[in-house]
Structure formats: structure tokens, C-alpha cells
């Protein structure tokens, strides 16, 4: 069986987001069911949504897996919980660790728990530019190229995070 190439977005803005991001990358890399094939730089981004919250650290990873999409979602949600994720009611509020499936191969998934491609990935600079770093030739299942999304997306102050 050929594994599925997937892209995962990582975001954090609570309790040392850089440490959380690095820890999540380590845990994903060590996971028996996942092979991490590339990791973008860490980026610092202004919050999308309510502005009275800290800046975010964002990154994107490419992984290969034999899991199905829901099994992958379960694995990611388990890692979120281990990093102190609490699901609160507040829409677009701060988060300790967010791991979102952006793409699952070339599949389109509309499941009550999971929508793939991720609904925000076409417009969010903190997804598009890290993804461009690791997959510049990427084309979405709808036929849109990542490069054309970047052409239409302001960086909104997004910058590579350096210590
Ligand atoms: N804003 C930024 N910059 N990065 C995120 O990862 C992020 N995640 C979210 C919301 C609250 C929409 N804002 C974000 O879930």
C-alpha cells in the first residue's frame, strides 16, 4: 500500500508557543503511524480573529501515513490534548496547540468531524506561506495552485521566527 501524503498546519499562541510547536513536531516525528517528510520554518503571525490575544507561532508539516483521515484526525487531537488543548466555546479564541489537516492526498472530505481541504487554507497567510516553503509546486484538489493563492494573499506581517 502506498502511504497518503498529507499536510498539517500547526498553530499556538499560549504558554510558550515556540516550545509547544517544537514539542508537537517532535511528537509527530516520533509517532509510529506517521512519517514526517518536511517541516517548514516557524513563523510569527498576527492573530486572525479577536485582536486581544498574543501573536501566533505557525508552521506546516508534510507527513506520510497509512492511517485513514479520521484515524489521522484522532491522532492529531490526542497530541493536542497532550499539549493542554481545551476546547472552549469562544470562536477564534487563543489556543495552546492546534493541529489541522490541510490536505489528505488529493481527497475531498466532507464529514461532520472533518472538512478537507481545510476551509481556511486558501486565504490564511499563516498557512499559505509556510506551505509554499515546503511544497512550492502544490496544486489543490480543486485545481488551484498554491502559488496563485500566495499571489493573492497579503503577508499581513507574517515573518519567519528567529530566536
Ligand atoms: N491566527 C493566527 N495568526 N494563527 C493561527 O493559527 C490562528 N488560529 C486560529 C484563529 C483563532 C482563527 N486565529 C489564528 O484558530
**CATH code for the domain of 140:** 3.30.70.560
Q: What is the mean pLDDT of residues 5-26?
A: 95
User: pTM to 2 decimals?
Assistant: 0.95
Structure confidence by residue, pLDDT tens digits, 82-124 = 988 666 667 777 778 999 999 999 999 999 999 999 999 999 9
Residue 78, H or E segment:
helix 69-82
Q: Return d(Cα 147, Cα 132) in angstroms, integer.
A: 7
Q: Which of 138, 130, 136 is nearest to 155 (CA)?
A: 130
pLDDT value of position 88: 67
- Ligand 1 centroid – CA 65 distance (Å): 26
Contact assessment for residue 60 and residue 40, using Cβ atoms and an 8 Å cutoff: yes
Q: Using most ligand atoms within 8 A of CB, pick from 47, 100, 102 the residue to mutate for ligand 1.
A: 47
Q: Which residue has the higher pLDDT, 89 or 160?
A: 160
**Residues with catalytic roles:** 85, 95, 98, 100
Measured distance CA(121)–CA(139) in Å, rounded: 12
How many A from CA of 2 to the centre of ligand 1?
33
Residue with the smallest CA separation from ligand 1 atom 6 is 11
CB of residue 129 inside a 6 A radius of ligand 1: no
pLDDT band at 33 (very low <50, low <70, confident <90, very high): very high
Its domain, for residue 138, covers 4-160
Mean pLDDT of the chain: 94
Q: Count structural domains, the chain.
A: 1
Beta bridge partners of 11: 58, 98
Amino acid at each position: 500500500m502506498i502511504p497518503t501524503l498529507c499536510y498539517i498546519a500547526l498553530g499556538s499562541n499560549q504558554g510558550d508557543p515556540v516550545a509547544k510547536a517544537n514539542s508537537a513536531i517532535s511528537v509527530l516525528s516520533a509517532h509510529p503511524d506517521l512519517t514526517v517528510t518536511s517541516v517548514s520554518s516557524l513563523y510569527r503571525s498576527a492573530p486572525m480573529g479577536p485582536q486581544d490575544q498574543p501573536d501566533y507561532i505557525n508552521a506546516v508539516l508534510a507527513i506520510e501515513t497509512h492511517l485513514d483521515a479520521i484515524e489521522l484526525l484522532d491522532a492529531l487531537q490526542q497530541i493536542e490534548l497532550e499539549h493542554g488543548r481545551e476546547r472552549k466555546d469562544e470562536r477564534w479564541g487563543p489556543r495552546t496547540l492546534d493541529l489541522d489537516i490541510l490536505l489528505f492526498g488529493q481527497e475531498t472530505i466532507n464529514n461532520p468531524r472533518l472538512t478537507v481541504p481545510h476551509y481556511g487554507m486558501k486565504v490564511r497567510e499563516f498557512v499559505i506561506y509556510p506551505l509554499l516553503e515546503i511544497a512550492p509546486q502544490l496544486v489543490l484538489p480543486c485545481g488551484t495552485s498554491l502559488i496563485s493563492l500566495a499571489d493573492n494573499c497579503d503577508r499581513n506581517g507574517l515573518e519567519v521566527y528567529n530566536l
